A and B are shown apart, each in its own frame.
Chain A
Amino acid sequence: MDKIPVLKPKKLKRNLTILTLLFLIVGSAWFAGFNFIEVMINLGKGGRLLGRMFLPPDLSYLPNIVDPMTETVRMAIVGTFIGATLALPIAVLTANNFIKSKLLHGPLRIILNIFRTIPALVLASLFVAVFGTGPFSGVIALSIFTFGLVSKLTYETIEAIDYGQVEALMSLGANKMNVLRYAIMPQILPQYMSYTLYGFEVNIRAAAVLGYVGAGGIGQTFEYNLAWRNFDRVGTIIIFSFFIVLIIDLISSSIRKRLV
């Protein structure tokens, strides 16, 4: 039987890509001083720390962290609310199919991009330096971050809507506001709500560590106990926040699944 010749694609490009990737990975591991053997040898130390945190955690400390945890949840709620509320009108202005002006949505896009690029923790430490410590600085940081995130996701959704409905309304003589109210909003609102909830999930996690720079919430208690090496209390804080985040995630993602 004759062999059927199989034409294989040229391998040069693939090999070059793999080589570049390998170079990048090995290079960065070397640059960062990553030593796999050292990690393996010292793994025991991490185990000992985990042991001091969780075997057993100091559960008598639990009543002391309910208040900071409540503050964390409040910060996340307020930050998400402010950020997402501001995001909706800005997203409409930024989408390139509602208002067709490059002068408007070009700069807006750059600003939104900058907001999203600066990590919430850095924003928070900036605001702590300006407004002083406390949840207020944290809330502003979360608001700005949520605003950038939700605006971006929402304007991309607006740009991807079914334009037929808009044209149908325009052909009936509807003005811009009518188009917005009856053609765009109904199409994007479920997505927007879903993005807001997603932002809330991200914010709960972010709010839990913001206290590390003095911006309120459970992170402050965490940092304090870590500095005093009360590892069994740190363990309690980790377990408690873990469950709160897990519960909120489960609720939020089940709502999101039903929305979209």
Chain B
Amino acid sequence: MEKITIKKETNYLHVALRVFYYIVVFGLIFWGFKGIEYKGVMQSASGAINALIKGFLNPDMEYATNMTIDGLPNAILETIAIAISGTFVSAIISIPFALLASQNIVGSKVSKIGKLIVTMIRTFPELILALIFISVVGPGAPAGILALGIHSIGMLAKLFSESIESMDLGVKEALESCGGNYFEVLFRAVLPQVSPELMSYTLYRFEINMRAASTLGLVGAGGIGAPLIFAIRTRSWSRAGVIIIVLVITVSIIDQISSRIRKRIV
């Protein structure tokens, strides 16, 4: 049998480009490694690891079942409350931002500005927002809610505007041709069409905010983060262990529920 030969055309420009990319990428990685000094593990490291494992195996059950305001259940509930409220605030504020960033609603010039604003919001870290809001409302959960509420706009408004841009314009045009005013078009044509997707994105962001809410306490913005960081800094491993275990379980359960609802919505 004759062998079938497949001719491959070699485009030297492509090959050269490819080599160039490889050099850039590996150069960057090499440059990165050069800067990270490995100072060797601290002498106490093995002891610390032992203590850590011991702590995780003997979780602080007293703390986990302490139903007062200083206990774990309260802190977890507060974390969930921050995530829910923050997501809700951002979902509401995101809608006008999304409309402002949608090309088929406000035209391409305005939508470019809208998109830029949304990108800028997304780039601003939530921890810094939390610090700013702590100066507004004082330390505590409300600062966390505001931080999440503002930071999430960056992602939600982007996703919202993408689904608005890809919707079927027929309904909108039909309403306009019947003489519907701006708000009628918005509430009877645009929002009903995109609302399942909007809800699904909001739920997805809620999952992310659950994780974010658990670190906000680090700067004093409420939730489980503060007791967790305190436990780690004082090396109370059995308490840190129980917090991390409960946190992982809670976040996993919420993820499951939320993704199941999302599958049913869209």
In the complex, which of the residues A33, A46, A129 contacts B136, with contact meaning CB atoms closer than 8 Å? A46
Decide yes or no whether B1 CB sits under 8 A from chain A. no
The answer to whether B252 and A113 have CB atoms under 8 Å apart is: yes
Residue with the greatest number of chain B CB neighbours at <10 A, chosen from A32, A70, A135, A136: A32
Q: How far is the CB of A221 from chain B (nearest CB, A)?
A: 13
The answer to whether B81 and A121 have CB atoms under 8 Å apart is: no
Closest 6 CB pairs of A and B: A77-B32, A28-B81, A32-B141, A74-B35, A46-B136, A28-B84
Q: How far is the CB of A52 from chain B (nearest CB, A)?
A: 10
The answer to whether A78 and B81 have CB atoms under 8 Å apart is: no
A43 to B146, CA, bound (A): 11
A107 to B219, CA, bound (A): 34
Task: Find chain A residues with CB under 8 A from B35 CB.
Answer: 70-71, 74, 135
In the complex, which of the residues A28, A73, A131, A212 contacts B80, with contact meaning CB atoms closer than 8 Å? A28
A31 to B41, CA, bound (A): 43
Residue with the greatest number of chain A CB neighbours at <10 A, chosen from B125, B235, B248: B125
A208 to B45, CA, bound (A): 25
Task: Find chain B residues with CB under 8 A from A169 CB.
Answer: none
The binding surface of chain A is classed by DSSP as: helix
A205 to B131, CA, bound (A): 16
Task: Find chain A residues with CB under 8 A from B131 CB.
Answer: 226
Task: Find chain A residues with CB under 8 A from B31 CB.
Answer: 74, 77
Decide yes or no whether A119 CB sits under 8 A from chain B. yes
A–B complex contacts, Cβ < 8 Å, 14 sampled? A25-B85, A31-B77, A32-B145, A39-B142, A49-B132, A77-B29, A78-B29, A122-B244, A125-B229, A129-B235, A131-B42, A132-B45, A135-B36, A238-B124
Q: Which of the segments A93-101, A157-165, A176-184, A241-249 contacts the partner chain?
A: A241-249
Q: How far is the CB of B229 from chain A (nearest CB, A)?
A: 6
Decide yes or no whether B185 CB sits under 8 A from chain A. no
Q: How far is the CB of B207 from chain A (nearest CB, A)?
A: 10
Provided the pairs A28-B81, A39-B136, A118-B248 are in contact, do residues A205 and B37 lie with their beta carbons within 8 angstroms? no
Residue with the greatest number of chain B CB neighbours at <10 A, chosen from A28, A132, A136: A28
A246 to B38, CA, bound (A): 29
Q: How far is the CB of B165 from chain A (nearest CB, A)?
A: 16
A34 to B85, CA, bound (A): 9
In the complex, which of the residues B33, B146, B244 contacts A78, with contact meaning CB atoms closer than 8 Å? B33
A192 to B136, CA, bound (A): 42
Q: How far is the CB of A138 from chain B (nearest CB, A)?
A: 9
Provided the pairs A129-B232, A238-B128 are in contact, do residues A32 and B137 lie with their beta carbons within 8 angstroms? no
In the complex, which of the residues A32, A46, A74, A126 contacts B36, with contact meaning CB atoms closer than 8 Å? A74
A29 to B219, CA, bound (A): 20
A125 to B247, CA, bound (A): 16
Task: Find chain B residues with CB under 8 A from A209 CB.
Answer: 125, 127
Provided the pairs A75-B36, A135-B36, A136-B37 are in contact, do residues A31 and B81 lie with their beta carbons within 8 angstroms? yes
The answer to whether B39 and A134 have CB atoms under 8 Å apart is: yes
Q: How far is the CB of B54 from chain A (nearest CB, A)?
A: 13
* Count of B interface residues, CB-CB < 8 Å: 64
A71 to B34, CA, bound (A): 10
Interface size class of A (residues with CB under 8 A): 35 or more
Task: Find chain A residues with CB under 8 A from B136 CB.
Answer: 39, 42-43, 45-46, 49
Residue with the greatest number of chain B CB neighbours at <10 A, chosen from A34, A76, A77: A34
In the complex, which of the residues A34, A113, A114 contacts B142, with contact meaning CB atoms closer than 8 Å? A34
Decide yes or no whether A213 CB sits under 8 A from chain B. yes
A39 to B249, CA, bound (A): 33
The answer to whether B229 and A246 have CB atoms under 8 Å apart is: no
Q: Mark A88-122, 1 if CB is under 8 A from B, else 0.
A: 00000000000000000000000001100111011
The answer to whether B85 and A130 have CB atoms under 8 Å apart is: no
The answer to whether A212 and B127 have CB atoms under 8 Å apart is: yes
The answer to whether B141 and A34 have CB atoms under 8 Å apart is: yes
Task: Find chain B residues with CB under 8 A from A49 CB.
Answer: 132, 135-136
The answer to whether B84 and A25 have CB atoms under 8 Å apart is: yes
Task: Find chain A residues with CB under 8 A from B81 CB.
Answer: 27-29, 31-32
A211 to B96, CA, bound (A): 35
Q: How far is the CB of B173 from chain A (nearest CB, A)?
A: 22
The answer to whether A114 and B248 have CB atoms under 8 Å apart is: yes
Task: Find chain B residues with CB under 8 A from A75 CB.
Answer: 32, 36
Provided the pairs A32-B78, A74-B32, A122-B215 are in contact, do residues A46 and B132 lie with their beta carbons within 8 angstroms? yes
The answer to whether A249 and B218 have CB atoms under 8 Å apart is: no
Decide yes or no whether B159 CB sits under 8 A from chain A. no
